[in-house]
Each structure stands twice: as C-alpha cells, then as structure tokens.
Structure 1
C-alpha cells in the first residue's frame, strides 16, 4: 500500500488492527470491543458511520441517488444529480438529504458528517477479501452490503455521473447519479489516505 506522496505504507493486514469502536456519545472504546455506533480508523484519523438493521434512518439496506444541490445547474446541463431517487426511511432518499438527516441526530456526538471521497472509501476496503466479500472489516462494519457505495466525487467528464466504491470487488467505477446505491458517511480530516488511481 502507498500513502499520499510515494511513501511506503502498511500492508493490508492493518485492516485487522486499525479500527476502534465509538459509542453514541463519541467515546472511543478499547480495541477488544466492537462493533460500535461508529468506527474510528486510527491510521487515517477518520470516523465512519456504522449501519443498523432496525429499518430506521441508518439502515444498511437503504439506497440513495447522488444529489448535491450546490453543483452547477444554471446552464444546459444539471450537475446536481437526482433528488430522492433511492429507497429509504427517515429522510429523502438522496445523498444530500441523508447527510443532513444524520447531522441532525449528532451521530456519535458530531454534526459534521459528510460524503466520503473515493480515496477515503478505498482506505476502508480490505483487498484480501475480494474472494470473500464484502471487502471490509466486518467486525467493525457489520451489515456492510456486498455492493456499491456512493462517494462524494462526481465524474469530471460526464455531468450526470459520479464515483462509486464496490465492496464486492474492492474497486471503484463511475455510475449514473440517478442510480440508487448505498451510502456510508465519514467525518474528520484524512491523514495518510492512499490516492486511488484513475
């Protein structure tokens, strides 16, 4: 694995030890305890949402269309994506509405949750698990779907497409913004996050 500026980094075995469970109030737990309401990546400094199976706002089965109301839309092309195009509960079923709804709950004591970059999604994808997906540490991220998750990065060469990360094969690709996909939110400033090659 490589870090940002060509430095050598740890191998994939770091996925076994780099996470710590976080409580609903933001307390980071001992390494022996998992899962938490959130998961802290001690290597990158990021904290991740952990999904539920209760049918509520953060249920792992929910899907969302990619939508960012701040994207350009005044000319011939509308870069914002599609509002409310997924299947969910607790918010409108698009990425922007979901971020806003989770922030209203102050998940794990914070209200600065956001969509992850594709590089950040890549940082929690365990390449050793491509033959037994999902490609993630399922002790800290239970209920992860063997499927694609939206990143916050749209695709610069196509106005109505954005990047997804597959936790089936551990790779990224471009998808139409209107297509329902899963979401996992993140917070914090990333450190030592690997740049995903185009």
Structure 2
C-alpha cells in the first residue's frame, strides 16, 4: 500500500512513499534541503531481504544526484556509495528514477485530509479544559486523537518564550546514539539553551499541572500539521498555537543514518528533514504515551 505523506511549499511534489513496512529517508539536512527544488523517495519492500532504495533529487537545474541504498534487514539500511559532501554524484540515469517517480505520482496529492484541529482542546495552566466559547488564554493543547498534550508558547520571558531556540542535546544513549549533541547552542532565557535544559525547566514549572514533559518524536510532531493551511506559510493552526513561528522544530528522534543529526519538522510546510544537532532550532514539548501512527490510541 502506498501512503501519501506531504507536499512541498513551492507546489511541486515532495513525495515520500511507504510500501508495506519499508521506508527510507533523505540524508542529514543541509546538503539537500537548502538547494533542492523537489525530491522523490522510492522505498523498498520490507519483506524482501535485499532491495534497493533510490533517492532522486534535482538540486539545481544544472545538477542532478542519485543516491542508492541497500536494505539488508528489516531494521538496518547500509550505505552502498553515499558521497558525504555538498556536491552529489550522479549514480544512475535520471530517466530511470524519473520513470519511477511518474509511476508514483498519485502520492503527491493529499487534499482530502480533515482539519487536525477538530480533535484539539484548549487547556489552561491548571490542566482544565477551556470551553470553546471562552476566550481565556490557554497554555496547552490536548489532542484527543493521539492522547498527547502539547505546550503552547507565550510572550513572557522564560521556558515558554515563543521565539527561543535550542541546540539538540540528550543524556540518553538510546536517544542520542553515541552523539549527544551540543549544550547551550541556542538563544533563550534559560541558563543553558539546549533541549534537555528546556525539558527540565518546563517540568520544574509544572506546566498545565504536569511534570512529565518530554521532547516529541518525529511522528508526533508531524501530527500537528494542517495541510489545508499550507498556503498561509504556517501549517500550525493559529487558533490553538497563536505564537507558532513558521520555523523548524526539534524532535527527540536522532537521524539513524547520520547520528550527528536529528529530525526537525518545519511549521512552514509540514515537512521533516535531518539537521545537525549543533544547530539552533525551535522546540515544543509534549507529554503522554509515545504516539505510534500505525497503532492509534483508544479513545478515552
């Protein structure tokens, strides 16, 4: 089954197709995202032990690149020949992958998706639901579909400052995969501007009555995007996230092929990519059981 995931900001297709359980993703961030006009990912069957994953990107009108991976287990992807540089090398004829892209063109449409905010509730500082007719300021948003509670940014200085940025840092070996990231690499009102310090500060404050806040997984961040708002330049609904900037937000997910990077999700277009952990990006915390999109939680 081929599942449509997203569309690019400039109107051209940015396709990620998942076939069965197999998937693959673009390498760490800046080499591709800063220059690419559009990209197509053709992902392998998970049940075939050896298969080829082809990534095709037109980075500029006069430059083409193709990366091939060999998937040799259900959980590991080994690199065949990736040039870790900003100047990619063409490895197979562009026409070959173009034919695959055309065959998967149906993946580029995602127009019948319902507004994600239909399952959201505004929550006050004490953790109580705010009535839809009440214009009181809210501090969190609860998603009844995913059972996740999200931090809402504020204008005041402190841990919830809307324009504060952080470098990615974690002490958890299972999370950072031998690359813990960088301390104090952002710009914020905390003593140290990294994601781990943000989590500690928000838990200390007891936001919305809870002290178990954490960094969101990549798949959790992707649930916030309303693609009906993409033409506005920000896919986060301003009614629920009024101060959300159209920048990139850190996830807790390390990029497995290049653990010096972690996944970020852009609020401008809803797309995700890998970014170096040393870079400064926005962050929004979440609490609740980790959401698995392949196994939706039961309704309360």
TM bucket normalised to smaller? 0.7 to 0.9
Which residue does 1:26 correspond to in 2? Answer: 127
Partner of 1:193: 293
Measure, in 1, the Cα distance between the counterparts of 2:294 and 2:190.
Answer: 33
Structure 2 match to 1:129:
229
> Out of 89, 99, 112, which is 2:189 matched to?
89
> In the alignment, what sits opposite 2:154?
52
Q: CA deviation at 1:103?
A: 0.2
Distance 2:163 2:185 in 1: 14
**Which is richer in strand?**
2
In 1: Cα distance, 2:231 partner to 2:225 partner: 13
Which of 129, 148, 170 is matched with 2:248 structurally? 148
Q: How does 1:42-121 map to 2 (within 5 A)?
A: 42-71=144-173, 78-121=178-221
Indicate yes or no: 2:248 matched with 1:157. Answer: no
1:42/1:129 CA distance change after superposition, 3 Å: same
Give the aligned partner of residue 177 of structure 1: 277
The C-alpha deviation readout for 1:73-124, integer Å capped at 9, x for no partner, is xxxx951000110000034100011001100001000000000011110111
| In 2, Cα distance between equivalents of 1:190 and 1:159 | 21
Query: Over alpha carbons, which structure has the higher Rg?
Result: 2
Note if contact 2:216-2:285 (Cα within 8 Å) is conserved in structure 1: yes
Q: What displacement does 1:166 show?
A: 0.3
Residue ranges of structure 2 left out of the alignment (5+ in a row) = 5-19, 21-111, 296-300
TM-score of the superposed pair, with normalisation by structure 1: 0.85
Alignment counterpart, residue 39 of structure 1, candidates 141, 144, 152: 141
Q: Verify the 8 A CA contact 1:133 1:146 in the aligned structure 2.
A: yes
Which TM-score applies when normalising by structure 2? 0.57
SS of corresponding position for 1:30 = coil
Instruction: Assess if the C-alpha contact under 8 Å between 1:123 and 1:194 holds in 2.
Output: no
- Name the SS of the counterpart of 1:103 in structure 2: helix
Q: Hey, what's the Cα distance between the residues in 2 that align with 1:191 and 1:66?
A: 21
Count of aligned residue pairs for this structure pair:
184
Deviation, structure 1 residue 130: 1.6
How far the C-alpha of 1:157 sits from its partner, in A, is 1.1
